[in-house]
Structure 1
Amino acid sequence: MVLLSFDIEEFDMPFEYGKEIAFEDQIAISRAGTIAILDLLDRYDVKATFFCTVTFAENIPDLIKRITETGHELASHGYYHSDFKPEHLLQSKRKLQKLSGVEITGYRMARMMPVDEKEVQKAGYVYNTSINPTYLPGRYNNFHISRTFFRKNEVLQIPASVSPVIRFPLFWLSFHNLPLSIYKFLAQWTYKKDNYLNIYFHPWEFTDLDDVERFGFPGYVRKNTGTKMIKRMEQLIAWMKAKGYPFGTFHDFIQTI
């Protein structure tokens, strides 16, 4: 099963590159990207999981309704994207349930940073997908963690997909920068080995990020964004469908294991 997911959040990433961006623009850019994603998923009849911050959800009630009413899964991405306290685990779960009217069972920490699994369990989550089981300088050092799903503190841990052996990450940056043929090769290798893929993206990737003066992003972040990203994602989904890979939400996946 292909677990396609999107971390929908206030677009605060320019702060990491020394740029200011108004809150209204953060919401508007992520909103535009989320609409592009939903339109694309509709065209290919694909169901996905949307990990949403409360801050973003409060500003897009119509899209939260669209996500839940069209069969996608809504999960928690925390209360804020740039601030975390352990109490936000339960607070975000409850608030998202109130805003959406659906049960929230999954969690992903902002920026895939470490989170205390005991606190995740205490907050009542069924699964946590906050682990990138690879090594990225200055960000992750997770070679010691299982590549594939496992249980810890009664919570199902579902790491992001990395290739067998070399643990090459299949996350959003790889998708932007690798030739699509190489990304497909790694995805196929991983799917054959694990029988599932867990790959994630963000709504702002589906908008034009080429304005260096405004966003400050280096080339490897802004490469293949906007309409190029939409086209690449269409090609990936069409290729996966042609190979017979089923798509599903994390909730769907958990029912099969």
Structure 2
Amino acid sequence: MVLFTFNVINIEAKAKNGVQISDVERLKITEDNTKAILRTLDIHDNKASFFIEISLTEKLQNLIKAISSQGHEIAFYNKDSNLREIEEAKKKTEEFLEKQIRGIRQKDIRLRQEDLKMLEFNYVSNIDNAEILFPFKRLQRNTEITEEDGLSIVPESISPYSQLPYNDFVFQVLPMKYYKNMVFETLKNDDFVLIYLNSWQFTDFKKYPFEIPFYRSLFSGKKMEDKLDALLSWINEKEMATSRMKDYIF
């Protein structure tokens, strides 16, 4: 099973040469990038899970409704919100969607699992930092879903052969030929492959002069769309099963 997931988050990088990019513009970039992802998924009739950064949930209600109406899962991405803020966002989002939010993803700040269970989340999908040397730092990882404190804990996927993780950075820089081989070989060994990308990776950095490392701007924007399109085409051609996170876990 291939689990496609997308983190919907604003780009935080500063602009180059004193250019000002307002919060409104950053939000518009996030919306446009997410819509590009949705178009690509729709072309190939694939469903995915979208992890919306909690502080954006109220600002992106129309986008969230569009994502959900197309059959994708809405989950939360916790950047730095506290329990009260998460609870409030969850309640409001569930009210206007009329659907339960089951999943949450964390990276730098991780709340206690018992607290997340208290907020009636069903699963946690934590991720690590994906810097340029990150793939070489850890060579072993548990890749099985476990149950802890009443929550399903979904680990990041890692190739059992290349030892590369399926994070946003690896997808962006690895040639598609090798990435396909990695997916194919992993599914021979593991029950699922969890792939995650960030909405900001689909930004056209020639149009928006953000100050980001050179290796992070490589193959971004339209090239990321093309890469996602190529992977989805191949997955459908090989008749590989895909799923939203909540469907696969439950």
Per the normalisation by structure 2, the TM-score is 0.88
Match of 1:90 among 87, 91, 98: 87
Give the 3-state SS of the residue equivalent to 1:4 in structure 2: strand
Mapped to 2, the partners of 1:133 and 1:22 lie a distance apart of: 26
Does residue 1:155 correspond to 2:151, yes or no?
yes
Aligned to 2:120: 124
Moved more, 157-166 or 217-226: 157-166
Does residue 1:4 correspond to 2:1, yes or no?
no
Mapped to 1, the partners of 2:140 and 2:173 lie a distance apart of: 26
Alignment map for 1:54-203 (pairs within 5 Å): 54-78=54-78, 81=79, 83-109=80-106, 111=107, 113-132=109-128, 146-164=142-160, 167-203=163-199
CA contact (8 A) 1:132 1:159 kept: no
**Displacement of 1:113 after TM fit?**
4.8
Deviations 1:127-165 (A, max 9, x none): 000144999868997767522211111110111211115
Gaps of 5+ in 1: none
Aligned to 1:244: 239
Mapped to 2, the partners of 1:112 and 1:254 lie a distance apart of: 24
CA contact (8 A) 1:47 1:247 kept: yes
Identity of aligned residues (%): 26
CA contact (8 A) 1:132 1:140 kept: no
Gaps of 5+ in 2: none
- The structure with higher relative contact order (CA 8 Å, sep 6+) is 2
From the superposition, tell whether residues 73 and 23 of structure 1 become closer, same or farther in structure 2 (CA, over 3 Å): same
Aligned to 1:38: 38
From the superposition, tell whether residues 182 and 17 of structure 1 become closer, same or farther in structure 2 (CA, over 3 Å): farther
**Displacement of 1:249 after TM fit?**
0.4
